């Protein structure tokens, strides 16, 4: 597991027309999987909420964008189990009639790292995930599932589902100090943010590349404290300039003005990759 991201609860500024009825079972099929068929005290493993999505429909990333609602996962288990933050694979960027969205189509595996205390003495444990999503196409329908998985506790862990978890782990963004990031990015610069009146500042971030990838974009991570909109990505040779508009709701909840985002690009093989790229915004005084 490469990233444990700090922001995964998202405030939605605008939601499309919402059908309140329970979601038909064929829109999104949810299941709870593990990368281990047996777990051991004092070790760690990964759970995955697997969402299979009906053709033409989509569900939302941690930042749904201008429309939609982020998928939510609430984990629970017995004493001795610690659940990390949800790990979000790189989403698709969708331009719909309702606005710009960051979403998943077809399927996604949302990853949750789990740490087991060395004091766990049970022979078997049950772990649960309460999952909520908004499925959208020409309308939007709320869905939910209460999922569970039973895992035996043994002296030695046993791996399973390795191909599936490896596939989605490879779609997680890399950290900015990872080998992949150092190979690509020569320099990242951000001038001092302009004085922010709460909604009109347009900060800029400049990224200089060793080797310029294709289809560069930047996906911001919105939080209940700040919304990032009007993202513009400009390319000139080996330099990418990212501009955006922040709207701050709770300045005290944006320590140091730091806002996370993901640089998304295509590598030489045409595979979509991502690197976490944080920015700093000026907070209103």
Instruction: Return the minimum-mean-pLDDT range out of 45-59, 131-145, 191-205.
Output: 191-205
pLDDT at 15 (0 to 100):
40
| CA–CA distance, 111 with 3 (Å, rounded to integer) | 10
| Beta carbons within 8 Å of 40's beta carbon, 6+ residues apart | 116, 153, 154, 155, 156, 157
Q: What is the mean pLDDT of residues 265-270?
A: 92
Q: What is the mean pLDDT of residues 249-266?
A: 91
Q: What percent of the chain has pLDDT over 70?
A: 87
What does the pLDDT look like over 88-114, one tens digit per residue? 999 999 988 878 899 999 999 999 999
At residue 38, does pLDDT exceed 50?
yes
| CA–CA distance, 119 with 157 (Å, rounded to integer) | 15
pLDDT at 273 (0 to 100):
96
Q: Where are the domains of the chain?
A: 18-169, 179-280
Enter the pTM of the model.
0.87
Entry field: residues in the chain: 285
At residue 204 the predicted structure's pLDDT band, cuts being 50, 70 and 90, is confident
| CA–CA distance, 63 with 66 (Å, rounded to integer) | 9
pLDDT at 195 (0 to 100):
57
Instruction: Return the minimum-mean-pLDDT range out of 6-10, 212-216, 224-228.
Output: 6-10
Top CATH class of 179-280 equals mainly beta
pLDDT at 203 (0 to 100):
76
CATH code: domain 18-169 is 2.60.40.1250
Mean of all residue pLDDT scores within the chain: 88
Asked if the domains 18-169 and 179-280 are classified in one and the same CATH topology, the answer is yes
At residue 76, does pLDDT exceed 50?
yes
Q: Which residues in 21-34 are b (16+ Cβ under 10 Å) and which e? A: eebeeebbebebbb
Which pair of tokens denotes residue 194? 């302009």
The H or E element containing residue 183 is helix 179-184
At residue 119, does pLDDT exceed 70?
yes
**More confident of the two residues 259 and 35:** 35
What does the pLDDT look like over 146-199, one tens digit per residue? 999 999 999 999 999 999 999 999 999 999 999 989 999 999 998 766 655 544
Most confidently modeled range among 15-29, 46-60, 235-249, 256-270: 46-60
pLDDT at 23 (0 to 100):
47
Q: What is the mean pLDDT of residues 5-33?
A: 56
pLDDT at 40 (0 to 100):
97
Q: Residue 213: left if φ>0, alpha if ψ -120 to 50, beta else—which one?
A: beta
At residue 75, does pLDDT exceed 80?
yes
At residue 14, does pLDDT exceed 50?
no
What number of helices (H) and strands (E) belong to the chain?
Answer: 2, 22
pLDDT at 236 (0 to 100):
93
């Amino acid at each position: 597991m490469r990233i444990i991201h700090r922001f995964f609860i998202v405030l939605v500024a605008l939601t499309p027309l919402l059908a309140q009825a329970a979601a038909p079972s064929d829109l999104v099929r949810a299941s709870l999987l593990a990368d281990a068929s047996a777990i051991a005290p004092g070790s760690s493993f990964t759970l995955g909420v697997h969402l299979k999505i009906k053709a033409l429909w989509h569900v939302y990333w941690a930042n749904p964008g201008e429309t939609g609602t982020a998928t939510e996962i609430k984990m629970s288990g017995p004493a001795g189990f610690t659940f990390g933050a949800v790990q979000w694979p790189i989403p698709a960027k969708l331009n719909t009639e309702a606005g710009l969205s960051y979403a998943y189509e077809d399927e996604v595996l949302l990853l949750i790292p789990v740490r087991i205390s060395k004091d766990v003495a049970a022979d078997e444990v049950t772990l649960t995930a309460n999952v909520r999503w908004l499925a959208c196409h020409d309308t939007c329908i709320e869905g939910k599932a209460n999922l569970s998985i039973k895992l035996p506790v043994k002296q030695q862990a046993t791996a399973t589902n390795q191909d599936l978890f490896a596939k989605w782990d490879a779609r997680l963004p890399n950290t900015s100090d990872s080998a992949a990031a150092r190979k690509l990015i020569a320099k990242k610069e951000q001038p001092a943010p302009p004085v922010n009146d709460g909604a009109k500042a347009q900060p800029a971030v400049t990224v200089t590349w060793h080797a310029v990838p294709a289809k560069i974009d930047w996906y911001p991570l919105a939080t209940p404290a700040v919304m990032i909109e009007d993202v513009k990505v400009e390319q000139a040779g080996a330099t990418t300039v990212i501009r955006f508009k922040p709207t701050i709701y709770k300045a005290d909840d944006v320590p140091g003005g730091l806002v996370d985002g993901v640089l998304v690009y295509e590598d030489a093989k045409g595979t979509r990759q991502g690197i976490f790229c944080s920015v700093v915004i000026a907070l209103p005084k």
